[in-house]
Structure 1
């Protein structure tokens, strides 16, 4: 009898066979489940059911979880929440529900009934077009609701009767602000970026009212900038920000001083760029503030300052730059970004009239050689005082014959054979003048590895060696790799730093299952035909990674964290036949992202988060195999 009692207790309080239990957490993530498993312990506080194939929520299997606080059902196959309320209605302690990355189209009006402790609800990346009018009534403690990337064209739900602090509706189909309750007195943050706004007089009037109500904050991702809300209609305002239309009526930001064409916002403790900068501004001073990021969609992507020539963003906390960050500032000549916290320059800084850019005293450890190729007027680049060990062969700005002065002192240069190639490239390119401690680079000067007891940037002691005598043959193999003839295998080495000393004869490189977060540069490897980068942590893949003339035929970037494929991402890879992009997090492909691959035969996009695929996205006439399984596709518009 005692044995039977123990067995009964074990079954009652055990762990489902398809899950892993630790304390009060039950982890059933990625187990291929099609339904919620039975036998979940009643003491469970955190229940993780994400990344499965669950298509419905049982009305009984969760009723006994009286201690449940966190429920994660994201990335499943749910299409309706019409009956899901029965699973939650007795759970008065539940605080966090995640239902994002499903295919939900309908939601029950009583879904949240009884959830008096609920604070956060995630319903993003589905197909929801509306919510019941009394949807929030049953959850008085609700603070944050995310409805990102759905199909809302309006929002008629009252948000005045609860504690809601943040409502995220970016990436929907909203066209006006009429759904906002401007009489609300409690603070509420609206994130409504990336919607097709109709910029008529009514919208601008509402926009003005919202700006005057201190209880409302319009958000753009992690930025307070209101300028990322872009007009879709009328046609004459298409592509312009609501902010820029509004600021035509303003004179000077209240936190700044304006004198003539100079706007001085320096040393004001700003965490975002202020509203109301006049279109006539020539010099904009924003140094010595607390600006920390310039993410997409950013202020400078949409701001219309046609006369701006000087932009000073120095002495802030900026960490990253986006591709073509300043391309809208067509008159910009002087860009000051020194004394920030920028770690890498992998983007294309596209500004045709830019004369000088100061990136000194940051944390930069790598630079894309094509970063400045669209800056045809460039004459000065300062990258001194960073963490650069290598300088890649720099691409000369297009349509330019001017001498470009590079200031590169006070970096921990590693003077090896790879660096010698760069020196020779710079010396042979008479349009580049690289200065270090006011001395032009000479590749045949004595040089030592950084970290010696005493050295200059291209050191002279101790025990100097002439690189010209040691670098005749570039057949080196990285210390963490195995090299057999033209094959280099660096897989499973937990590598995170960029490797430079690949043999120039390398034809196949395997870098699988490491920890790279940025794409490596292979500009010197003209014999490379096969490259494997799957199983890393890449979130971006930029143009300029490969030499302009290459024969790469196989490229695998599967199992990374790519979210978007931008135009020209794979430009120059005209020989590419097989491209594996499976098991990333790709949600969107720009129309021309893959059109530069004329010989592409196989394209694997399986295991991503695509909801649609246009004909222009994949237009290669040679394509024979296109794999799209395990996505969220609801629309495919293409011909073969």
Structure 2
């Protein structure tokens, strides 16, 4: 008998087993209960429970009697359980409740009667179609309200008026066509209304939102950036709207704005972003820009102009961007890249130029580059002068170009090269190309691709791994090395030791 008791104790410690735990539930010593596939709120849940998680069940209706014994409850999460209705004041007596989440259910309205202790309320992915101020009465401590993916069609001040302490409001994925203001939410810091149907934001909407720092209207039908945005704003997201022009002069009071997202609009040109003096991130992907923006803010660290119609890159475009670290110009029509255009960008580490019309690697790129992406251009050869300054380069992507040979001197001048992507090029697999293979292997470079297009007897072979090519070229390689040694006796200073413990940057690639 003693052995059996000891076994039960061991199970309760190791597996969350408790002799008082209801069926289809697991209970642990931290006063947490998790239940799955229930048909009702399980009876017999310990009265000391602080966290109750119920998931993937079939509980159509919640009622007051379900929770009368759970007065210690602080967190209640009901996920994907088919809940359609909640009896009035079901949660009212839970005076310790701080978090209530009813996700992926079938509620058509906000449950009535919440305890004043509530701080987080998440009712995402239901069928709630309207809000009333009475829904949130007494919730002065509520900090987070989420109603993502419901059926709301409008938003007005009266709906949220009791929530004077609210800090985060998330209304993404509804059918909201109109909003009215001002919203009396003086402590609101984060507001998101992504993927709705907004055409217009009224001028007085932000009057009482003077603490707002993060604002997103992405995925709407807005043709203008809202006016009178609060000065406190740090981040503004306006992607996937119908913007055709930006009046930065109307935004110059946003002296704290550091992140601006404008991708997926219909912008054909841009001038005046310098009014946003502290901007560090500007995203303009998937617009109709025919040239790079004029007069960019000098503190910019990330600029994304990918998927536009840009044809030229000049020195003037980047002369003041000394803090720029990430530049994305992929999927444009760039055929002209002025030599030294990025020389003033003394911190640039990531340059994306994939899918353009370049015939050669741009000259005098910054020596700080760690990644250079040139996939999908029309580059025919690599010259030493193009890469000689890139001593920090670790990733070089040359996929899908027109390369047939590699310059050995160019490769030797890249001491930190770790990843080289070469597939999709018409390689002419002569024996001299194998010397490049030996250089790359000595560096420890990970090389992808290298399929031969010529000569005919080597077509389809891979010059980085083919034993057949290696056997055919072995005499040539030995002779080359012998001639090299005879011509030059190395001096101590000619040896460059590669530190294989150098910091490794794990970049993602296609």
Indicate the residue corresponding to 1:78 in structure 2. Answer: 82
Q: Indicate how the Cα distance of structure 1 residues 16 and 380 shifts in structure 2: closer, same or farther if over 3 A, else same.
A: farther
Alpha-carbon offset, residue 69 of structure 1: 1.6
Q: CA deviation at 1:174?
A: 1.5
CA distance 1:254–1:360, shift in 2 (3 Å): closer
Report the CA distance between 1:117 and its aligned residue.
1.0
Matched, 1:385 2:356: no
Distance in 1, matches of 2:411 and 2:18, equals 76
Contact 2:450 2:464 in 1 (8 A): yes
Structure 2 residue aligned with 1:106? 108
What is the deviation of 1:37?
3.4
**1:33: how far off?**
4.5
2:375 corresponds to which residue? 395
3-state secondary structure, aligned to 1:158? helix
Offset of 1:45 from its aligned partner? 2.0
CA distance in 2, matches of 1:413, 1:442: 17
> Could you say if the C-alpha distance between residues 53 and 114 of structure 1 is closer, same or farther in structure 2, counting changes exceeding 3 Å?
closer
Alignment of 1:538-549 (within 5 A): 545=510
Q: Which of the residues 261, 276, 289 maps onto 2:278? A: 289
- Aligned pair 1:231/2:231, yes or no? no
CA contact (8 A) 1:226 1:243 kept: no
The answer on whether the counterparts of 1:227 and 1:302 sit within 8 Å (CA) in structure 2 is no
Query: Take 2:54 and 2:40, find their aligned partners in 1: how far apart are those partners?
Result: 9
Gaps of 5+ in 1: 1-6, 234-238, 257-267, 431-439, 452-465, 480-498, 506-522, 527-541, 546-640
Q: Provide the rounded CA distance (Å) in 2 between the counterparts of 1:151 and 1:73.
A: 20
Match runs of 1:180-259 below 5 Å = 180-182=180-182, 184=184, 186-188=186-188, 190-198=191-199, 203=200, 206=202, 208-211=203-206, 213-215=207-209, 223-224=214-215, 229-231=220-222, 241=241, 251=249, 253-255=251-253
CA–CA separation in structure 2 for the residues paired with 1:209 and 1:377: 52
Query: Where does residue 121 of structure 1 map in the other structure?
Result: 121
Whose helix proportion is higher, 1 or 2?
Answer: 2
Matching residue of 1:24: 30
Alignment partner, residue 442 of structure 1:
409
Cα distance 1:85–1:395, how it changes in 2: closer, same or farther (>3 A)?
same
Mapping for residues 251-400 of structure 1, pairs under 5 Å: 251=249, 253-255=251-253, 270-273=257-260, 282=271, 284-285=273-274, 289=278, 291=280, 300=284, 309-310=293-294, 312=296, 315-316=299-300, 318=302, 325-327=305-307, 333=313, 339=323, 349-353=330-334, 358=342, 361=347, 372-374=354-356, 380=362, 382=365, 384-388=367-371, 394-397=374-377
Equivalent residue runs for 1:27-46 within 5 Å: 27-28=33-34, 31-46=36-51
User: Does the residue aligned with 1:37 lie in a helix, a strand or coil?
Assistant: coil
Describe the SS at the equivalent of 2:121.
strand
2: CA distance between counterparts of 1:196 and 1:360?
43
User: Is residue 159 from structure 1 mapped to residue 160 from structure 2 by the alignment?
Assistant: yes
2:127 & 2:218 partners in 1: Cα distance? 27
CA distance, structure 1, for counterparts of residue 309 and residue 211 of structure 2:
27
Q: TM-score with structure 1 length normalisation?
A: 0.48
| Change in CA separation of 1:167 and 1:422 when aligned onto 2, cut-off 3 Å | closer
In the alignment, is residue 90 of structure 1 matched against residue 93 of structure 2?
Answer: yes
Range moving further from structure 2, 351-360 or 18-27: 351-360
- What SS is found at the alignment partner of 2:259? coil
User: 1:339: Cα distance to partner?
Assistant: 4.2
- Alpha carbons of structure 1 residues 375 and 426: separation in structure 2 relative to 1, 3 Å: closer
Change (3 A) 1:385 1:25: farther
Q: CA deviation at 1:305?
A: 7.2
Q: Could you give the per-residue CA deviations for residues 523-579 of structure 1, whole angstroms, max 9, x where no partner exists?
A: 9999xxxxxxxxxxxxxxx9x83xxxxxxxxxxxxxxxxxxxxxxxxxxxxxxxxxx
> Residue deviations 1:435-465, cap 9 Å, x none?
xxxxx763674987779xxxxxxxxxxxxxx
Contact kept in structure 2, 1:42 and 1:65, CA below 8 Å = yes
Contact 2:270 2:294 in 1 (8 A): no
Question: Is the 1:36–1:54 Cα contact (8 Å) retained in structure 2?
Answer: no
Q: Secondary structure at the match of 1:171?
A: coil
Deviations 1:165-200 (A, max 9, x none): 3322222211222xx3327373546422322223xx
Partner of 1:592: none
1:409-457 alpha-carbon deviations (Å, 9 max, x no partner): 132649xxxx8x9699886379xxxxxxxxx763674987779xxxxxx
Question: What's the offset of the Cα at 1:54?
Answer: 4.1
Corresponding position: 1:428 with 2:422: no
What residue number does 1:169 align with? 171
Which structure ranks higher in relative contact order (CA pairs < 8 Å, sequence separation ≥ 6)? Answer: 2
Instruction: Report the number of matched residues.
Output: 396
Q: Give the C-alpha shift of residue 36 in structure 1.
A: 3.6
- Partners of 2:87 and 2:307 lie apart in 1 by 48
**Superposed displacement of residue 327, structure 1:** 3.6
TM-superposition CA deviations, 1:44-79 (whole Å, max 9, x none): 2222334x23443543343222122222223x1334
Query: How far did 1:140 drift?
Result: 3.3
Offset at residue 361 of structure 1 (A): 3.4
Deviation at 1:116, TM superposition (A): 0.6
Task: Work out whether residues 370 and 392 of structure 2, in 8 Å CA contact, stay in contact via their aligned partners in 1.
Answer: yes
Is the contact made by 2:257 and 2:276 (CA closer than 8 Å) also made in structure 1? no
Deviation at 1:331, TM superposition (A): 7.5
Give secondary structure in 2 for the equivalent of 1:145. strand
Following the alignment from structure 1 to structure 2, what is the Cα–Cα distance between the partners of residues 26 and 129? 33
TM-score, normalised by the number of residues in structure 2: 0.58
User: Does the 8 A contact of 2:34 with 2:53 survive in 1?
Assistant: yes
* Aligned CA distance change for structure 1 residues 282 and 63 (closer, same or farther; 3 Å): same
Q: CA deviation at 1:32?
A: 4.5
Q: Corresponding residue for 1:135?
A: 135
Greater mean deviation of Cα atoms: 224-233 or 64-73:
224-233
What is the root-mean-square deviation of aligned Cα atoms in Å? Answer: 5.5
CA contact (8 A) 2:260 2:279 kept: no
